[in-house]
Amino acid sequence: MEFHSSKLYFMKSLFTKTILTLVTATLVVSCAALRTTNKFISNDVQATIDLVNIEDDKVQITITPPAMDVKSTVFYLPQIVPGTYEYSNFGRFVENVQAFDKKGNPMELISLDVNSWEIVNPKKLGKITYLANDTFDGPIGQEIYPMGGTDFQADELYLLNLHSMIGYFEGMKESSYKLRISSPKNLKAFTSLPTLSTSDSLDVFDAQRYFHIIDNPILYSKPNAVSFDLDEIKVGLAIYSPSGTHQAKAYQPAIEEMMKAQKAFLGDANDTPSYDILLHLMDIDALQYFGGMMGALEHHTSTTVVFVDAMGAGELTQSLIDVVSHEFFHTLTPLNVHSEEIHNFEYNRPLMSKHLWMYEGTTEYFANLFQINQGLIDAPDFYNRMMDKVSQAQRFDDTMSFTQMSAGIVDEPYQANYGNVYQKGALINMCLDILIREKSGGERGILWVMKNLAQKYGKEKPFKDEALIEEIVAMTYPEVGTFFTDHVIGTTPINYDEYFAKAGLINGDTEVPLRSIIFTDNTQLFFSPQPDATGKLQFVVNALNPSVEAMGVQIGDILLGLEGELFPEISQDNSGKINAILTPTIGWEADKEFSVTVKREGETLTLSGKVGNPKALTKGLVENPEADADAIKLRQNWLFN
């Protein structure tokens, strides 16, 4: 869930949590479902959703199964869905679950747990009905990534991630679904789910099996979309912007350039015929409900993306490139390269794969590498991104086996280290790339490995989880096997400097752009909470960046607010309100005029200036002027071949 675009990082610091969460983002695998044989006479499930007659912000759902020839069965809402890597228990969001026979009479329904209901005599079953709450309301909804949730705004917007709305019957995940959705006439459906028929008030969709129901989210909103053909792929972008500021047409050129570059990078490894981007922009206050969480949730042929509506066009464009490129690269893995655990995903009895280093790590690495490879960013930007991942990875347990963590990711202590799949996971792939390039004389890298795996397996042929690493080693070199044994299966931390040195890179002084005007380097704000003489907390300026210094801000000033909004009392209870003032700075562009309010020697001052392009001098990765010809050649092949 782009979030890009590593996934989500939860900082302990009260006042940096939201900012750092917003500028890192992730998200997310998708997979196929279990093939089974059963005694069901037909193979078609009818599902209806009523978006017109909304009561108390709840949507009526009706599920009509095919005729069944079994003594009992269970109806499920998923406990977990592909790509979220945590227990969601979507059954929590439905209520008043009832069963009726074919004559409309109530039937006995036994609640087994929060996600499952037993039907005692399914031969008589005519339908199941229930009400679905959206995940954007109520305290338990905070636990669901917004990009993977549901948002019901009557006559305005419906974000439908169907895994929290549509269930399945035991043994029937391979049954086809016909989905009928009644909707307000002023809203249009945007989705990659195949459409059988459509009108201004009723849409009928076709899903080959249950997986396709949950793999194709739907955005109902007022038309704000573009669609274009790009080298045998049809691309769609639909945007919901509560302010109306962001129009899809404005972002078509950037999306087009990005996806053209991705296809050039992937070559014949990509055969996706279509891809849809559903962008749900949110008010700052609404986003604070999720702690400022932003990002994306990937699906095989689409992605749902959540960002804040207050972003400037430039910042939103770059965020879309970073996040959506990650999600699109999932068309390589897990779409075309995945294990049996992914192909046969069990939504209510999950068994996880050991290879998050590939599903998320390879994907995140490619989302950065393709940008330097295709000329979208320069080399220093790429180096800074990799060094930022080294820094971020240090926040997690660096001695934890990556394969063991992946297999146990839904439980602790592994769940707390999930964010590292976007940091160390990407770095694992970087090191493998450099190592394979070195051993092959620059001819092959990790993309070559993935292309060969995709050619061998593909969408419908999973690999054996235990055999993947051995197969990659057989394709490459013994040193690759040693790397996996030590650093992926094993617990030995990686010495990244060793791999950077192979490519003629060393640590040195470098300038990095600030994440926001309120930072002085990659992690530090220009102010911090400090108690006054009475013990009351106040924000005191303790460092400066060039932009705020040019405005006249001085060290020792008491920061009272931004853009005319004053901070409330500094406390845990007010953290959401404080973050709501700070968060918009993430989207401010260079030419924006802004103001800060400070108190200096008892006098309140309002200081104004432009955001500009402030940078910070920091230790980072630079090209070694004394690197030999082999190292320079390796670097060129690594980045541009």
Look up residue 487 and give its two tokens: 């650093």
Report strand pairing: 44-55 vs 176-182: parallel
What's the pLDDT tens digit per position in 562-620?
A: 999 999 999 988 988 898 899 888 878 889 999 999 999 999 999 999 999 998 888 88
Mean pLDDT value across residues 92-117:
96
Check whether residue 113 and residue 64 sit in a common domain: yes
Residue 63 within any structural domain of the chain: yes
Percent of the chain exceeding pLDDT 90 equals: 77
Residue 173, domain CATH: 2.60.40.3650
Residue 8 within any structural domain of the chain: no
Give yes or no for residue 634 having a pLDDT over 50: yes
Tell the burial category of 221 from Cβ atoms under 10 Å away from its Cβ (0-12, 13-18, 19+).
Answer: buried
Residue 331 within any structural domain of the chain: no
Long-range contacts of 99-102 (CB under 8 A, 24+ apart): 99/125, 99/127, 99/128, 100/125, 100/126, 100/127, 100/128, 100/129, 101/125, 101/126, 102/126
Question: Is residue 1 very low, low, confident or very high in pLDDT (cuts 50, 70, 90)?
Answer: very low
Structural domain containing residue 177: 44-226
- How many contiguous H segments (helices) and E segments (strands) does the chain have? 18, 29
**634/131 Cα distance (integer angstroms):** 59
Give yes or no for residue 427 having a pLDDT over 60: yes
Last residue of a domain, one of 226, 246, 270: 226
Residue 270 within any structural domain of the chain: no
Check whether residue 407 and residue 535 sit in a common domain: no
Give yes or no for residue 286 having a pLDDT over 90: no
Q: Give the pLDDT confidence score for residue 37 in this predicted structure.
A: 38
Q: Give the pLDDT confidence score for residue 22 in this predicted structure.
A: 33
Check whether residue 451 and residue 570 sit in a common domain: no
Residue 600, domain CATH: 2.30.42.10
Q: Give the pLDDT confidence score for residue 40 in this predicted structure.
A: 41
Check whether residue 166 and residue 111 sit in a common domain: yes
DSSP for 118-180 reads: EES-GGGEEEEEEEEE-TTSSGGGGGS-GGGS-EEETTTEEEE-GGGT--EETT-TTSEEEEE
What's the pLDDT tens digit per position in 191-241?
A: 999 999 999 999 999 999 999 999 999 999 999 999 999 878 999 999 999
Rounded (5°) CA angle 566-571-573: 100
| Contact partners, residue 474, CB within 8 Å, separation at least 6 | none
- Tell me what the pLDDT averaged over the chain comes to: 90
**397/401 Cα distance (integer angstroms):** 9
Please give the helix or strand (H or E) that residue 636 lies within, else none.
helix 629-640
Check whether residue 545 and residue 399 sit in a common domain: no
Last residue of a domain, one of 211, 226, 241: 226
**149/278 Cα distance (integer angstroms):** 13
Give yes or no for residue 360 having a pLDDT over 70: yes
Crossing angle between the packed helical segments 379-393 and 424-439, to the nearest 10 degrees: 120
**117/456 Cα distance (integer angstroms):** 40
Check whether residue 557 and residue 635 sit in a common domain: no
Bridge partners, residue 278, by sequence: 238, 304
Check whether residue 581 and residue 636 sit in a common domain: no
Check whether residue 444 and residue 554 sit in a common domain: no
Check whether residue 185 and residue 70 sit in a common domain: yes
Residue 621 within any structural domain of the chain: no
Question: Is residue 2 very low, low, confident or very high in pLDDT (cuts 50, 70, 90)?
Answer: very low
Q: Give the pLDDT confidence score for residue 230 in this predicted structure.
A: 86
Residue 316 within any structural domain of the chain: no
Check whether residue 573 and residue 474 sit in a common domain: no
What's the pLDDT tens digit per position in 326-354?
A: 999 999 999 899 999 988 889 998 899 99
Give yes or no for residue 4 having a pLDDT over 70: no
**346/352 Cα distance (integer angstroms):** 9
Question: Is residue 512 very low, low, confident or very high in pLDDT (cuts 50, 70, 90)?
Answer: confident
Q: Give the pLDDT confidence score for residue 576 in this predicted structure.
A: 81
Q: How many CA atoms lie within 13 A of 52 on its CB side?
A: 13
**41/455 Cα distance (integer angstroms):** 36
Q: Give the pLDDT confidence score for residue 14 in this predicted structure.
A: 26
Residue 352, domain CATH: 1.10.390.10
Count of domains forming the chain: 3
31 versus 407: the higher-pLDDT residue is 407
Check whether residue 491 and residue 542 sit in a common domain: no
Question: Is residue 3 very low, low, confident or very high in pLDDT (cuts 50, 70, 90)?
Answer: very low
Residue 79 within any structural domain of the chain: yes
DSSP for 413-427 reads: TTGGGGGGGGTHHHH
Check whether residue 455 and residue 568 sit in a common domain: no
Residue 301 within any structural domain of the chain: no
Q: Give the pLDDT confidence score for residue 38 in this predicted structure.
A: 42
